[in-house]
Amino acid sequence: MNSRDLILGRIRDALADNPPVDEPALPEVWPSENPDRETLIGRFSEELQAVTGETHRCRSMDAAQRKLAELADEAGWESVGAMDRPLAREVAADLDADSVRWSDTDRQPEEMGQFAAGLVEADYLLADTGSALVVNNTAQERLLCYLPPTCVVVARADSLAEHLPAVWSEVARRTAEPDRRGEFVIITGPSRTADIEKILILGVHGPKRLVVLIVEA
């Protein structure tokens, strides 16, 4: 018997004399309470407001279209860069068609940085932090989340989830798709920093204003 066999034999004997102890169950960090939609919308709105974001509940698609057009008129947006997605196209129907620049892979960051606002479509809204999870398939879609000074997120009410763990299995499935490209971005309020003398400043590293339109029907 060589040294290796002796060592392995001693390990087996030790394990036989001291059987493994059952580990305690891990605590549930994010328990699921399964709240109704009204509760989710209320929680999302409160959390987003706490980080100076804005939420607008739109009872219908017509209401969402009017609200976006109203926001554009009030702020004087001359150009809106938008994700080319079905919901974004529908919500943007009342905007001046000449002012909307749909995302494509030919757009350069310098051009996108000149857009007055970016319109992005969220795949999920996370109520516990007031966050929007946006799946960006291209670099241009991702830059729409960062470059324009105003970011408008549009999502349907049925995309609301209690927290990230509630949608994690679906997110994990999508990230594992062999042909998946791009990035998953979580947006929580406008860009903010207090690096300079502890003074809070908005819009340094991204949009200064974040607006979320929740389409309920």
User: Per-residue b/e over 159-198, b at no fewer than 16 CB within 10 Å?
Assistant: bbbbbbbbbeeebeeeeeeeeeeeeebebebbbbeeeeee
Region label for 189, one of left (φ > 0), alpha (ψ between -120 and 50) or beta (otherwise): left
Altogether, the residues listed in the chain come to a count of: 217
Residue 203 has pLDDT above 60, yes or no: no
pLDDT of 14 higher than 90: no
Q: What is the pLDDT of residues 121-173, one digit of tens each?
A: 999 999 999 999 999 999 999 999 999 999 999 999 999 999 999 999 999 99
Mean pLDDT of 203-213: 84
Answer for the pair 38, 113: CB distance below 8 angstroms, yes or no.
Answer: no
Q: pLDDT band for position 213 (50/70/90)?
A: very high
Q: What is the pLDDT of residue 30?
A: 82
Give the pLDDT confidence score for residue 129 in this predicted structure: 96
Is 81 in contact with 72 (CB distance < 8 Å)? no
Task: Answer yes or no: are the C-beta atoms of 120 and 152 closer than 8 Å.
Answer: yes
Strands 160-161 and 183-187 turn out to be unpaired
CA distance 174 to 189: 25
DSSP state for residue 8 in the 8-state scheme: H
- Measured CA to CA, the distance from residue 197 to residue 182 in angstroms comes to 36
Task: Point out the least confidently predicted range of 4-13, 52-61, 85-94.
Answer: 4-13
What average pLDDT does the chain have? Answer: 90
Check residue 201 and give its pLDDT. Answer: 66
Looking from the CA of 109 toward its CB, the CA atoms found within 13 Å total 7
Distance CA 51, CA 104 (A): 31
Dihedral over alpha carbons 29, 35, 37, 43 (to 10 degrees):
-60
Residue 61 has pLDDT above 80, yes or no: yes
Three-class SS of residue 99? helix
User: Global pTM?
Assistant: 0.83
Max intra-chain CA distance, the chain = 86
* Structure-token pair, residue 190: 């406008």
pLDDT at 100 over 70: yes
Position 19 pLDDT exceeds 70: no
Examine the pLDDT at 18 and tell me if it is beyond 80.
no
Q: Which domains does the chain have, with CATH numbers?
A: 37-215 (3.40.50.10420)
Mean pLDDT throughout 50-74?
A: 97
